[in-house]
Structure 1
Amino acid sequence: MNLLRTLHNFEVPQSFQSGQTCCWCGLEIDKAHIVECSLCHQTFHDYCKSSVFSPCYCGPLFPMETPYYHNLIPTNEKGLCSVCRKMSGPLMKCTKCTLYFHEKCTLCSPPLCRQASLPVDFYTHYLVSTSRGRCSVCGKVIQPNQQSVGYHCIYCEDQFHSTCVSATLPISVLRCPRDKLGLSKYLVHPSDIRQDVVIQRESQTPLIFVVNENSGGSRAKRVSSLFEKYFSTSQFVLIQNIDFAANRFGNYINGSSISDKIDNNLVVIVCGGDGSIEASIDHFGPYQKYLILPYGTGNDLSRSLGFTPDEILDTIEENGLSALREVLKLPTEFVDRWVLQVSNYKFGKNEEFRDFRRFTNYLSVGMDGAVAQKFSESRSYGPSGPFLNKCRYALSSTALLDNYCLDIDTKVLLELDGEDVELPPMDCLVFMSSVTCYGGQRLLKSSEEAQKMDDGIIEIFYIKGSLEMGSVSVGMAKPTLLARAKDIVLTIKPNFVLPFQSDGEPFLLQNAVIHLYTESQILFFSERKKMTSD
């Protein structure tokens, strides 16, 4: 609940219709005991109106285009139901506004959840339930009862009685300093949003949580429940709705360049796997900072940046906001992003190259692409955790029996930095930009020159057969390093359909010429950079 709110304006209605119910207790109202809010037109018993704590969202301060509903989950915590004001019985808790409700009370008219926008030009408090403290308005000790309930501001920790909260308070009380959590520059306040578009502020670096709810066996959903009460609802976006979020933050995205102050741009927290990272960069652009919470299967980019997936996820889920603050203090490093362009040829004529997709980890063609294709199909039946996904990946190796993914050396032509390369016998060709592959495996031998992720050069490996493929994927063998290059042209010979995968996303190509080169560099928070600097 935002402190800046409008209370109901109760009046006796001029007309009466039988069958109306009280929005507070849910019981039917007779003509002798009805009152109505002149702003939102909700009806109540006249003897219930003194107990109504829910704000009226239809007054001049709240021209809301759409209502914002609670995200309720069962809880064992003790609290006061925001509808009936009683503590008895099992409760539901909203992850966004922290209000408590009995399940049966949600069928009445619970107060709406936190609003996304406010037509004011200053930052107000944001209040969540509390049971102790001293009210900053009246100075009295907060003792929750059926007439009043306590709130505290999550940003500055000021305390308030619900009966002391109103829009008539002076600006000095309504204004929130927002500095005690150390998150003020990462927040999007309701006053920063106009017509569902976030206004760009020079001092702000908003966080955006991009959540893939299917990652980690749906474990990524926990991120929202951990942080929703601290950040605006506009700062959380499901991966399938990422287009809308990119439009909402368009002022931060459009016109950005690497020469701008990147510290004033967005921080995109990707809660998912390598595929979710690519989707986020596609929509928010290369000029933001990116933090990975690795809920995927392989999580190779996160590993390449020095993170241990289970370790960082356990830390975030156990310590919440304090852990997030520490991760946001990590140094950053640039990672090359490669563009894959495709030109199809038919009847002896080549089309112009067009952008097909981009990747930051690796691209492979042959056996690995076929296995990824089969794994993607099996995973679509339902989300699973990393361990089960790895088991599914192993079972997908039956795709190696298909001839279309074998003998890659006879089906493609390779040109590196303008020179043709003769290919040895192979069943898989891997173009690798990240340090690890296949869920944490380093492909370079210890005697070979160390790999870099920001030099515009990609390492090219080949795998001879299915036995070597299996050994490489579990770290028992190393593939052969074919070459290093900055500009790659791969031509698929006529009449062949080849399986590819880039960062875990499979696809098929035929009758095509593929051009690979570095397009940009992306800034990621890095544990590896911290270890290097130490």
Structure 2
Amino acid sequence: MDSSAPEASRRTARASLVESVRDCTLAGVRISKEELRRKLTMPEYLRLAVTDAIESKDIDGAADRHRLSAGESAESPEFPLVVFINRNSGGRHGPKLKARLQDLMAKEQVFDLQCVEPDQFVEYGLRCLEKLALGDLCAKQTREKLRVVVAGGDGTVGWVLGCLGELHVQRREPVPPTAVIPLGTGNDLSRSFGWGGSFPFNWKSAIKNTLDRAGRGQECHLDSWNISISMPAKEIVHRPHCLKPVKECYLDQGLEIGVLPEKVSYYKGVFYNYFSIGMDAQVAYGFHNLREKKPHLAKGPVSNKLIYSGYTCAQGWFFAPCMSDPKLRGLNNILKMFIKKTNCSNWEEVSIPPSVRSIVALNLNNYASGRNPWGKLKPDYLEKRGFRQARVDDGLLEIFGLKQGWHASFVMADLISAKHIAQAAMIRFEFRGGERKEAYLQMDGEPWKQPIVEDYSAFVEIKGVPFRSVMINGTVSS
């Protein structure tokens, strides 16, 4: 008997096992590349019509050029997907991921955000598909089943969610649910809905798993929050793309406002994860500027976090008591905060503790790469403070404070909770300067330097968007 036969058999079995594991979902079911492609890929005429409409900005013409001829028919895929990739997010995995995705579905369903922005897809691509759906069953079913995957960080996901939300706000059209491939540094939106906190090491096979889950996952909801800024007429320098200048915005009635000059600048935006004021935003601002000027330094999540930690130390957050610079003092010197609670029409002023140097209004249970600074609070404590257990779809923001860097470090290590301040359905911040000429603000990881002056107030008002974003739960089982 050949003694090498058992060893050869074992080698074959091991190879088979490795291949099976590589191509499995989390539930252990093998995903066939060909089968997945069949389930994902839209018929060619629909793909070409969508891309033609985006490129030509001619919805009617694109629909007419690619409409099926009389007697022709096509079948809608089981779960049609489109993917948006931010190639500059996190560790710059976008180009190789784009090639992999185009191998798993049609290339026309994979959009590079440097070439096609999500509002262009919504305005032209989806409208073309909707026009075809009026007399085409395949197009109708494809539009109804369409789902979106965003490959990027929290800022990218928020950008796409905001554009998709306009479908409901402006056209009352159904909004495709969204899944995430985490390419950013923190990826808290991705973590909150079961898509993981980082780009997977075995990404080639993991992407198949992600697309399969994106097609089969259950829909869930996410609160989103409008932010309005009214300020003395100045331009916000290095303004994040999620914050847009507008002609006018109105502050909620019922609260006497501070002094505004005759000339006022207005900005509006939407956030999904958090809004913050203070030292954490100042650190993020320094890091963001460095990454823009020297992108070669930000090669991945690990290097990003090391640079971020360096900025935290350099900005004086840890050693503020030793310094006299007014920029390093508590926020209560420049800031007033007012809140409205659920089903309450009256504003309530909330005092800001002198020790607090960052204030965060948090929507998710994840913050700063998966931390939960609000914590899992006990029922007795919730009842005593008048709080509810935090959820992403409860119409409330959790407001907490961070003190010096040491306090923030212990909070981020989950050794202690942050300074609980309030839960609110609406928030208004009033800024007034003095020695300080600016404050640092950020939302969903996008920071900016907010001008403030001594003679006039600047206001930031936050209130919930009536429409909740539609997400896909990534923790589905087979």
Q: TM-score if structure 1 supplies the norm length?
A: 0.59
Which of 226, 230, 233 in structure 2 is aligned with 1:339?
226
- Aligned 1:161-172 pairs, distance under 5 A: none
Instruction: Determine the C-alpha separation between the residues in 2 that align with 1:454 and 1:415.
Output: 22
Structure number with higher relative contact order (C-alpha < 8 Å, ≥ 6 residues apart): 2
- Aligned 1:366-515 pairs, distance under 5 A: 366-380=278-292, 381-382=294-295, 383-397=298-312, 398-400=314-316, 403-404=326-327, 406-417=329-340, 418-425=347-354, 426-448=356-378, 449-495=388-434, 496=436, 497-511=438-452, 512-515=458-461
Secondary structure at the aligned position of 1:456 is classed as coil
- Aligned 1:182-197 pairs, distance under 5 A: 182-184=39-41, 188-190=46-48, 194-195=52-53, 196=55
Q: Deviations over 1:73-105 (max 9, x none)?
A: xxxxxxxxxxxxxxxxxxxxxxxxxxxxxxxxx
Secondary structure at the aligned position of 1:471 is classed as helix
Secondary structure at the aligned position of 2:114 is classed as helix
TM-superposed deviation, 1:250: 4.3
Largest Rg, 1 or 2: 1
Which of 276, 281, 295 in structure 1 is aligned with 2:183?
295
Change over 3 Å in CA distance of 1:202–1:442 after alignment to 2: farther
Instruction: Determine the C-alpha separation between the residues in 1 that align with 2:281 and 2:373.
Output: 17
TM-superposed deviation, 1:275: 1.1
The structure carrying a bigger strand percent of its residues is 1
Structure 2 contact 154–188 (Cα < 8 Å) conserved: yes
Amino acid at match of 2:402: I
Q: Deviations over 1:128-150 (max 9, x none)?
A: xxxxxxxxxxxxxxxxxxxxxxx
Verify: 1:224 aligned to 2:116, yes or no. no
Corresponding residue for 1:41? none
RMSD (CA atoms) = 3.4
Secondary structure at the aligned position of 1:210 is classed as strand
Verify: 1:305 aligned to 2:193, yes or no. yes
Secondary structure at the aligned position of 1:420 is classed as strand
Amino acid at match of 2:469: I
Instruction: Determine the C-alpha separation between the residues in 2 that align with 1:515 and 1:353.
Output: 14
Amino acid at match of 1:517: K
Corresponding residue for 2:212? 325
TM-superposed deviation, 1:217: 1.7
Corresponding residue for 1:235? 109
Structure 1 contact 242–280 (Cα < 8 Å) conserved: no
TM-superposed deviation, 1:510: 2.9
Instruction: Determine the C-alpha separation between the residues in 2 that align with 1:414 and 1:430.
Output: 12
Structure 1 contact 406–428 (Cα < 8 Å) conserved: no
Tell me which moved more, 345-354 or 321-330: 345-354
Change over 3 Å in CA distance of 1:428–1:510 after alignment to 2: same
Corresponding residue for 2:381? none
Structure 2 contact 50–126 (Cα < 8 Å) conserved: no
Corresponding residue for 1:38? none
- Residue ranges of structure 1 left out of the alignment (5+ in a row): 1-153, 157-178
Instruction: Determine the C-alpha separation between the residues in 2 that align with 1:193 and 1:473.
Output: 44
Change over 3 Å in CA distance of 1:388–1:192 after alignment to 2: closer
TM-superposed deviation, 1:191: 5.8
Q: Deviations over 1:451-476 (max 9, x none)?
A: 11111110000112221122223333
Percent identical residues: 21
Amino acid at match of 1:369: A
Amino acid at match of 2:177: K
Secondary structure at the aligned position of 1:313 is classed as coil
Amino acid at match of 2:316: L
Q: Figure out how many residues of one structure are paired with residues of the other and give that number.
A: 351
Instruction: Determine the C-alpha separation between the residues in 1 that align with 2:48 and 2:394.
Output: 42
Change over 3 Å in CA distance of 1:319–1:307 after alignment to 2: closer
Change over 3 Å in CA distance of 1:313–1:525 after alignment to 2: farther
Corresponding residue for 1:518? 464
Amino acid at match of 2:425: K
Structure 1 contact 237–245 (Cα < 8 Å) conserved: no
Tell me which moved more, 395-404 or 330-339: 395-404
Which of 257, 261, 286 in structure 2 is aligned with 1:349?
261
Instruction: Determine the C-alpha separation between the residues in 2 that align with 1:514 and 1:265.
Output: 38
Instruction: Determine the C-alpha separation between the residues in 2 that align with 1:340 and 1:253.
Output: 32
Q: TM-score if structure 2 supplies the norm length?
A: 0.65
The structure carrying a bigger helix percent of its residues is 2
- Aligned 1:32-47 pairs, distance under 5 A: none
Structure 1 contact 362–433 (Cα < 8 Å) conserved: yes
- Aligned 1:92-131 pairs, distance under 5 A: none
Amino acid at match of 1:189: R
Amino acid at match of 1:181: R
